[in-house]
Amino acid sequence: MKTLRFTTLPGDGIGPEVMDVALKVLQKLGNLYDFSIETSGHDVGGIGIDNHGKALPDSTLEACKKVDAILFGSVGGPKWENLPPKEQPERAALLPIRKAFGLFANLRPGNLYPELSDLSPLRADTVANGIDTLCVRELTGGIYFGQPKETTVLENGEKQAIDTMVYRTSEIERITELAIKAAELRNGRICSVDKANVLETSVLWRETVINCVQKHNPDIELSHMYVDNAAMQLVRDPNQFDVLLTENMFGDILSDELAVICGSLGMLASASLGTQKNDAGLPFGLYEPAGGTAPDIAGKGLANPCAQVLSAALMLRYSFGLEGAATSIENAVKESIRSGLRTGDIAMGGDPVGTDQMGNAIIDNLK
Ligand code: IPM
Ligand code: MG
């Protein structure tokens, strides 16, 4: 029997309660698909600051180094909002963990089930059949990490701040190779988003993406779009995109846009994949829901557990190679929604159920 080794970092707010559901789902699924889980929980985010003085405590980082994947909850909340930006739980936990594990690829599936299409802010006829798009965002390069990155005082006394956007070919190649693999499992189309009419990094990006697709799979239908146009096209007709491939900051912005047009953050999962490979030759990864900590409903048993559960599905798929088990989770979530169950965030005025009721329905629907 296969043993899945991963840490759980539930974090703050609703993190712990939705993480509980995800673990129950994995436990049940293990019986059906013949795997066991070996997991331990660790502090991250605000609770890391409270208990260890750091959003990403050393003990948490060490524990993560011993496993094949991280199932992440969500971090932050009003209690830590007044800290300086660099110490805020989100930034101080997520950016160093991405760097520590070389998590260069961020996959954010934008899924809207047709049953929930009323949740989307887009026009009904645009989303009648739902949305199914995958955003592949480069996560450890570009303007987020480039040097110099500093604020200095000029001779005349005014301040000047600099961020630097840097990309090298190898960084663009590895994310493109991943986008190609993802597109091969979908409809074989990649739209690469850049700003090649203005930015040097984008000129290199476009050239490298073209060469890389030519080399690895010339059958991929590759197109290119400037980022301003892509932002517009995404609301005009989101389903024109199969895989959206883009650099770090453009991906940050476009993936939030994709999330909102999909209606509920409570339904969206994400995967961040690293350079390290585990024993099975699969990538180490961090899996997290797209939504936040929802402090207003934390601890009340009202949170939507779907995004956390779907993040666990991505973990099975990408870090453990268990495609069947991953699909089983995704189908169980779909089935639970189809049966009419809705947590408050997706209830649209109907009668909402709680976290456990939604979780139990998902568990019952696993096949
Ligand atoms: C995200 C977040 C982070 C980012 C922040 C919290 C640093 O917005 O994961 O998209 O910008 O990458
Ligand atoms: Mg973001």
CATH number at residue 300: 3.40.718.10
Query: Which atom, in ligand 1's list, is nearest to the CA of 95?
Result: 7
Alpha carbon of 219 to ligand 1 centroid (Å)? 33
What pLDDT does 116 receive? 94
| Ligand 1 atom 8: residue of nearest CA | 252
Query: Which atom, in ligand 1's list, is nearest to the CA of 255?
Result: 10
Q: Is residue 288 part of a domain?
A: yes
Q: Is residue 29 part of a domain?
A: yes
Q: Is residue 198 part of a domain?
A: no
- The closest of 270, 324, 331, 330 to 105, measured between CA atoms, is 270
* Positive or negative: CA dihedral 333, 336, 340, 346: negative
Alpha carbon of 138 to ligand 2 centroid (Å)? 12
Q: What CA–CA distance (Å, rounded) separates 162 from 5? A: 41
- Check if 334 has its Cβ closer than 6 Å to any atom of ligand 1: no
Cβ neighbors of 314 (< 8 A, separation 6 or more) are: 107, 109, 269, 270, 271, 285, 287, 326
Q: Is residue 159 part of a domain?
A: no
Does residue 334 carry a catalytic annotation? no
Q: Is residue 41 part of a domain?
A: yes
Does residue 144 carry a catalytic annotation? yes
Contact 146, 165 (CB under 8 A): yes
Q: Which of 113, 194, 195, 345 is catalytic?
A: 195
Q: Is residue 218 part of a domain?
A: no
Query: Which atom, in ligand 1's list, is nearest to the CA of 91?
Result: 7
- Check if 252 has its Cβ closer than 6 Å to any atom of ligand 1: yes
* Ligand closest to CA 260: 2
Query: pLDDT for 19-77, tens place per residue?
Result: 999 999 999 999 999 999 999 999 999 999 999 999 999 999 999 999 999 999 999 99
Token readout for 10 is 């539930």
Domain tally, the chain: 1
The domain of 322 spans 1-120+262-367
Alpha carbon of 366 to ligand 1 centroid (Å)? 32
Alpha carbon of 341 to ligand 1 centroid (Å)? 30
Q: How many residues does the chain have?
A: 367
DSSP letter (8 states) at residue 120: S
Phi and psi torsions of 345, nearest 5°: -65, -20
Token readout for 208 is 């490298």
**Parts of the chain with a pLDDT under 70:** none
Q: Is residue 139 part of a domain?
A: no
Q: pTM for the complete prediction?
A: 0.93
What pLDDT does 280 receive? 80
Q: Is residue 28 part of a domain?
A: yes
Ion ligand 2 nearby residues (CB, 5 A): 252
Alpha carbon of 36 to ligand 2 centroid (Å)? 33
Query: Which atom, in ligand 1's list, is nearest to the CA of 139?
Result: 12
Query: Which atom, in ligand 1's list, is nearest to the CA of 252?
Result: 10
- The closest of 358, 252, 286 to 74, measured between CA atoms, is 286
| Ligand 1 atom 1: residue of nearest CA | 252
Residue type, 35: F
What pLDDT does 79 receive? 96
Whether the ω angle into residue 89 lies within 30 degrees of 0, i.e. cis, is: no
Q: Which of 34, 219, 228, 296 is catalytic?
A: 228
| Ligand 1 atom 4: residue of nearest CA | 252
The per-residue pLDDT of the chain, averaged, comes to: 96
Alpha carbon of 26 to ligand 1 centroid (Å)? 27
